[in-house]
Structure 1
């Protein structure tokens, strides 16, 4: 098992203003040995990093459409620009490409208003903690890829209702920031046997707050399978019960579901 010690979704500035590059390392990829692709959550994390660097503001929300394949990519080129906003919030548009071929289209908002007292309406459900949850090894990706970067423990599973609760933790003890939570949110299709091996069409990510390194509880709820796709959403909580982020996705179901 190979664990990255540097956040593998961090970008570096490109040659022009608003341009950034993600050097694609194995931890940012998924897929079998010999056919790696950039994990959608890692791409979203890189786009979020680019928008935050360009704006010098914290993320509020971001969404991405997955346009094309990223197999064997060595770099992900990201371009972002402010396209609206006001005194407190900047609205952004972004795109990403591999060797000049468009692979992602994204948008987001960054910033904040005057401080006010935080109110968290969403409450963490009553589930067993990570120490009592069931460890699961994800074995269908190459060694050193994204599944090696986190621990994964299932605490609730109801296939009939389309609900899963899973605890995850960075093996490298990365802080639980917007980028890491975006990566966790892309585990969505693994929450049901009928969707495993599918591909994401889009991802929506709403960032509430970060947390210190540690366990994150992701509660995924599928809403529907229809016309060969799955729709659903998830809420992500810190171990002490604070809401950290909200996410949602639409994904294409696999023609042949992957075995559990």
Structure 2
């Protein structure tokens, strides 16, 4: 899937502004933009303006951008060095800011490489059930993002009181080698809260962060979710993103506000 085409991103002539109209497939369960889609749009806009690949991106959500609204994304280059560019992407609707993304882009050649985390030993997606989602929350992005829950429950309900859960995910046509695709798939900490605390629990994010190791095209991506803590009404977690053969693509993290789905 081409993420730019999926988001409907278009560049405004002669500026560092991009625009998209928020469609149903860009939304979560409440007809506002899905956090991972907002981060993905920021990444694509910044990469287009700098011609550099994303290393790190962190999006702070200030307010909702709703179904049918025109979202403006203005890219501001804060610093451009030999290897790394630092930028800000401001998302707004009718002049009102809805999110701000800090993003670092670039790459270097250096001989030291390695991955010291290891992919968990879990079954592949074939034969696993679709992840349980409350019926009222099944529209929007969830209609095209296929998820298979690593669970023995035939209904796809995950119960992981140890704080660790896993979901296989893929986009239509597979997962492309792009940081923006990882931003969409990595938005899974809320999934971890439902697995660890209560099946109908969720944690809409106040931020989405992604650290990119190396994007790689693959059919499925394993989202290994670690829910680290829940306190003061918020949950904190990380998501390691793996290829089926155990290559680490990136690390996502989020803080989310706890609530029961539908409330």
Same-fold call, TM cutoff 0.5: yes
Q: Which moved more, 1:18-27 or 1:215-224?
A: 18-27
Matches within 5 A, 1:24-103: 24-31=22-29, 35-103=30-98
Where does residue 116 of structure 1 map in the other structure?
111
The one of 140, 143, 147 aligned to 1:148 = 143
* Structure 1 residue 223 displacement after superposition: 0.9
1:175 aligns with: 176
- Paired residues, number: 251
Judged with a 3 Å threshold, the aligned counterparts in structure 2 of structure 1 residues 241 and 10 are, in CA distance, closer, same or farther, namely farther
CA displacement at 1:137 relative to structure 2: 5.1
Closer, same or farther in 2 for the Cα pair 1:5/1:81, shift >3 Å? closer
Partner of 1:258: 261
Deviates most, 232-241 or 77-86: 77-86
Contact conserved, 2:189 with 2:227, CA < 8 A, in 1? no
Q: Which moved more, 1:119-128 or 1:172-181?
A: 172-181
Is 1:203–2:208 an aligned residue pair? yes
Cα distance in 1, alignment partners of residues 124 and 144 from structure 2: 20
Q: Which has the higher strand share?
A: 1
Which residue is equivalent to 2:251?
246
Moved more, 63-72 or 147-156: 147-156
> Partners of 1:197 and 1:174 in 2: how far apart?
25
Distance in structure 1 (CA, Å) of the matches to 2:60 and 2:22: 19
> How far is the alpha carbon of 1:115 from its aligned partner?
5.1
1:122 deviates by: 1.6
TM-score, length of structure 1 as denominator length:
0.88
CA distance in 1, matches of 2:8, 2:247: 25
Deviation at 1:86, TM superposition (A): 1.6
If the length of structure 2 is used for normalisation, what is the TM-score?
A: 0.87
Secondary structure of residue in 1 paired with 2:114: coil
> Is 1:12 matched up with 2:13?
no
Range 132-141 or range 200-209, more displaced = 132-141
SS class of match (1:8): helix
Q: CA deviation at 1:258?
A: 2.9
Choose the corresponding residue for 2:223, options 218, 222, 227. Answer: 218
Give the SS at the match of 1:50.
helix
What is the CA distance between 1:174 and its match in structure 2?
4.5
Deviates more, 1:72-81 or 1:225-234: 72-81
> Aligned Cα RMSD in Å?
2.3
Is 1:10–1:49's contact at 8 Å kept on the other side of the alignment?
no
1:201–1:251 CA contact under 8 A, matched in 2: yes
Which of these residues, 235, 241, 251, is aligned with residue 236 of structure 1?
241
After superposition, the Cα gap between the structure-2 partners of 1:241 and 1:174, relative to the gap in structure 1 and judged at 3 Å, is closer
